[in-house]
A and B are shown apart, each in its own frame.
Chain A
């Protein structure tokens, strides 16, 4: 049912809207880029389709941008994508931040009842057990009927908040000792789209006119060496960058090769942002970014 609808809509859009491709999943859950109408027959959505595809979408659109030799903007062919609820929130955030424009994307939404973790033996991902964003929030067409939403569950975060500071530190210290700083979490994150990431000292955009001096003196906020201290700073520093932007889609946790419970961080951040600023990432179209706003009446109590 929903597979047929996805395929039909993908074909129609490839034909009528001149899409570059439709990014979706194949039946075994791997990401699949359908460039022709025959390809589109392989698109599918089922509980194995766990990847958040929005990062691919940004790459597909951005790679087409640029100037032609005579200085005109290159033509960007719109790109199609199949999104679940959580993906669609990330996508809405990118639209709000003008990273993508609505005319560059064609969105097929699939209401979702959860996807399973292959590595853990096909059990539901933790984020999917209680999900408050099952239905896509931005789409051109919906591939199936909407499904009921759950209440967001912060009980795991609260459990950590209720520990003593020493317990909390031990808990996180062990986790950060296991992080190998492969940067998969930030690479796969749909809202981490910077060309140069300040948390990766090797990540410097080299242009033809970049001098040796610039390469040697690139900022090193975090050293590349892997140890608890650098890992701690890495995971602390990511948080303000994600404040009011992270939609808690859980992609970082899903891709982590060390299986670190990163959503304990992102969910905490989301909870704080709600509590302190009464703000929720991507909860409406055209929303202003949290950090780009300021209010005189923000909480002031912690300041001397």
Chain B
């Protein structure tokens, strides 16, 4: 009897581990620019398009506002991924904000990779105010990519495995 109990509990354990794996729901912080992407997200909502509820939207006036610091801070404070979205090149309400951000963040992305952190934790998109459908797709893709990567553990390390020196 005790044997069957033990078997039962390991089975249960395996099942719950599996469930936990399945249930990993990434938290993604999305910085959307006021003029295009936020309006695009709005349109997606108004058109009743479905997209995963994993994103937490922060509206900013321009994607040019997104300094690498904001991305890093979100990752450090527990986000599993960050999405930055702005107007298409040439459509920026402030003319060039998105182009500046593209430069800055591309380097950040490449440095993340160099450190061995999955570059897909940080993603960027251009979504215009009329692209509600694209917004829903972008969110789906972003969430899927981050879901595959699993929880963001590298930004949570306090002590390294060997305890430092």
The answer to whether A and B belong to the same complex is yes
B102, CB-defined interface residue at 8 Å? yes
The chain A residue sitting closest to B126, CB to CB, is A303
Q: A168 near B116 (CB under 8 angstroms)?
A: yes
B residues 56-75 near A (Cβ < 8 Å) are: 67-69, 72-73
* A161 and B165 form a contact (CB under 8 A): no
B76-98: contact bitstring with A at CB < 8 Å (1 yes, 0 no)? 10000000000001100000100
Whether A290 pairs with B159 at a CB distance below 8 angstroms is no
| Given A165-B118, A295-B99, A173:B110 Cβ within 8 A | no
| Most chain A C-beta atoms within 10 Å of own C-beta, residue among B89, B115, B119, B165 | B115
Q: Main SS of chain B's interface residues?
A: helix
Tell me the minimal C-beta distance from B102 to chain A in angstroms.
Answer: 6
Query: How far does the Cβ of A225 sit from chain B's closest Cβ, in whole Å?
Result: 9
Q: Are A304 and B73 in contact (CB under 8 A)?
A: no
- Judging by beta carbons under 8 Å apart, are B108 and A174 in contact? no
CB pair B160–A303 under 8 Å, yes or no, is: no
Contact B111 A268, beta carbon cutoff 8 Å: yes
Q: State which of A120-128, A208-216, A272-280 sits at the interface with chain B.
A: A272-280
Residues of A within 8 A of B67 (CB): 240
Minimum CB–CB distance for B31 against chain A, Å: 14
Interface size class of A (residues with CB under 8 A): 35 or more
Give how many A-B residue pairs fall within 8 Å (CB-CB): 134
Q: A273-B107, A294-B99 are in contact. Are A169 and B115 (CB under 8 A)?
A: yes
In the assembled complex, the Cα of A163 lies from the Cα of B113 at a distance in Å of: 11
Jot down 10 A-B pairs with beta carbons below 8 A, ordered by A: A167-B116, A169-B115, A173-B116, A230-B76, A236-B111, A240-B68, A240-B104, A240-B108, A243-B104, A302-B106
Name A's B-contacting residues (CB within 8 A): 160-161, 163, 165-174, 176-178, 198, 221, 227-230, 232-233, 236-237, 239-240, 243, 265, 268-269, 272-273, 276-277, 290-296, 298-300, 302-304
